[in-house]
Amino acid sequence: MKIILASNNKNKLREFSEILNPMGYEVITQAEAGADIEAEENGTTFEENSYIKAKAAYDLTKLPVIADDSGLEVDTLNGEPGIYSARYAEPDKLCETVLEKMKDVPDEKRTARFVCVVCYIGENGEHFTVRGTCEGKIGYEKRGTNGFGYDPIFMYGEKSFAELTAEEKNSVSHRADALRKFKQTLQKGK
């Protein structure tokens, strides 16, 4: 089954494909589906933003669409960067900005989580959202070269997300958690 990913982010496309292809889905970008748009993410929650993105692509294609809104929530920063994760700082300064704000924060107060909310809109306009999370801590420095975004400072056990292999990350990540719930919800509806 073909499903449009309401994103042109190559990293997200790779992760969605790695997780959904074994489930029988062929993931294509919205540009490949003829819906090369940039929806305005003006929601106040991950749920609202994922729906806005999915609906924009669905309205143009009338085909099954999946969209996600994801980000990092740091407890000691009152949930920041949250829905503003991608726009929290210059793209090459995201990790540094969080590390700077947390330079004097002790280990026990460095708790954080990645959140991913996936919204699906089916061929007939039916839709649902699911939320996935992955709990961890903010490290003290960037570690690893895999992954993207905040992965080098997000510690999952003794390793950062950027030190995990794609297979390891895809088995525990917030996106994997959300996509497992997506698959279960989709299968219940059939």
Residues 6+ apart with CB under 8 A from 36: 8, 30
Q: Which of 36, 59, 68, 69 is catalytic?
A: 69
Pairing of strands 159-160, 127-138: unpaired
Give the chain's radius of gyration (CA, Å): 16
- How crowded is residue 12: how many other Cβ atoms within 10 Å of its Cβ? 20
Please choose, from the candidates 82, 73, 72, the residue with its C-alpha nearest in 3D space to the C-alpha of residue 44: 82
69 catalytic per annotation: yes
Question: In Å, how far from its chain's centre is CA 131?
Answer: 10
Give Dmax (Cα) for the chain: 52
Residue that is written with structure tokens 């924009």 in the block: 56
DSSP per-residue string spanning 84-124? GGGGSS-GGGHHHHHHHHTTT--GGG-EEEEEEEEEEE-TT
The residues annotated with a catalytic role in the active site are: 69
